[in-house]
């Protein structure tokens, strides 16, 4: 059995795909029990985490000779989910185009609930979501696999940005722009004492709201 050191931009889906496994096989392996307990979510790994990669097992299939057989390799595409809102209301009916790693994946109209969900390649790294038309066009750059744990500043900043509380570049700097974004978020959730400080109440509320929006 080998191990893999997680790099920025990787998630369990991409790691599993590179090693020829379903992500569930690696996630549920006994040697990854401590990692599973620590991170909870296979899509949120911290750079430097160690993932155990099990040895591959040989599968034998008996077939008649002098025949031609076709075998289909199973795969498990990752899922991209986003909810498009404007002033807390779904942007239903607006046109959108999703491009992943330079390839157009889908175009259409935003559903009535604002939710868009579709499969994307497990190794996807970057994407572009274009919403609207003509002078109302908005373009969003997507970085897949870059969501760090909520315990990190980068994880907080990424979630704030995703929810519309702009704090600039995602890094480990708790700068003035980030503090202002935290303050605005605290006001939004009716924090008992909004100060811009990154306290446990704020982290928990941010993680909860982000998960709700991403899965709704």
What are 57-113's pLDDT values in tens digits?
Answer: 766 667 777 677 665 555 566 788 888 888 778 899 999 999 999 999 999 999 999
Domain boundary among 99, 127, 146: 146
3-state secondary structure of 65: coil
Among the residue ranges 9-18, 76-85, 122-131, the one predicted with the least confidence is 76-85
Residues 157 and 139 in one domain: no
More confident residue, 211 or 76: 211
Average pLDDT over residues 160-186: 92
CATH number for the domain harbouring residue 111: 2.60.40.1120
Residues 46 and 96 in one domain: no
Cα 36 to Cα 111: distance, rounded to the nearest angstrom: 34
Residue 31 lies in a domain: yes
Residue 65 lies in a domain: no
Residue 117 lies in a domain: yes
Average pLDDT over residues 196-215: 85
Residues 216 and 151 in one domain: yes
Give per-residue pLDDT as tens, 143-170: 887 788 999 999 999 999 888 898 988 8
Domain boundary among 53, 68, 96: 53
Residue 41 has a pLDDT of 86
CATH number for the domain harbouring residue 26: 3.10.350.10
Look at the chain and report how many structural domains it folds into: 3
Residues 200 and 185 in one domain: yes
Residue 131 has a pLDDT of 94
Residues 49 and 11 in one domain: yes
Residue 63 lies in a domain: no
Residue 216 has a pLDDT of 46
Residues 86 and 137 in one domain: yes
Residues 126 and 184 in one domain: no
Give per-residue pLDDT as tens, 18-53: 898 888 999 999 999 999 999 888 888 888 999 999
Of these ranges, 9-23, 79-93, 190-204, the one predicted with the greatest mean pLDDT is 190-204
Model-wide pTM > 0.85: no
Residues 141 and 189 in one domain: no
Residue 128 lies in a domain: yes
Residue 75 has a pLDDT of 57
Identify the domain containing residue 14 by its residue range: 2-53
Residues 142 and 155 in one domain: no
Residue 125 has a pLDDT of 85
Nearest to 158 by CA among 107, 208, 206, 96: 206
């Amino acid at each position: 059995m080998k191990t893999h050191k997680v790099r920025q931009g990787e998630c369990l889906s991409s790691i599993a795909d590179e090693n020829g496994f379903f992500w569930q096989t690696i996630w549920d392996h006994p040697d990854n029990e401590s990692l599973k307990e620590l991170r909870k979510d296979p899509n949120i790994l911290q750079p430097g985490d160690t993932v155990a990669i099990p040895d591959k097992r040989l599968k034998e299939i008996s077939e008649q000779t002098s025949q031609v057989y076709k075998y289909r390799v199973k795969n498990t595409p990752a899922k991209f989910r986003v909810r498009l809102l404007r002033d807390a209301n779904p942007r239903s009916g607006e046109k959108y185009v999703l491009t992943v790693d330079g390839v157009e994946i889908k175009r259409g109209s935003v559903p009535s609930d604002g939710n868009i969900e579709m499969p994307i390649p497990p190794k996807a790294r970057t994407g572009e979501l274009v919403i609207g038309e003509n002078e109302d066009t908005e373009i969003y750059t997507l970085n897949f696999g870059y969501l760090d744990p909520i315990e990190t500043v980068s994880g907080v900043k990424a979630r704030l940005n995703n929810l519309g509380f702009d704090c600039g570049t995602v890094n480990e700097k708790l700068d003035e722009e980030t503090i202002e974004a935290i303050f605005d978020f605290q006001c939004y959730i009716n924090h008992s004492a909004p100060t811009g400080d990154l306290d446990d109440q704020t982290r928990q509320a941010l993680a909860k709201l982000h998960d709700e929006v991403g899965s709704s």
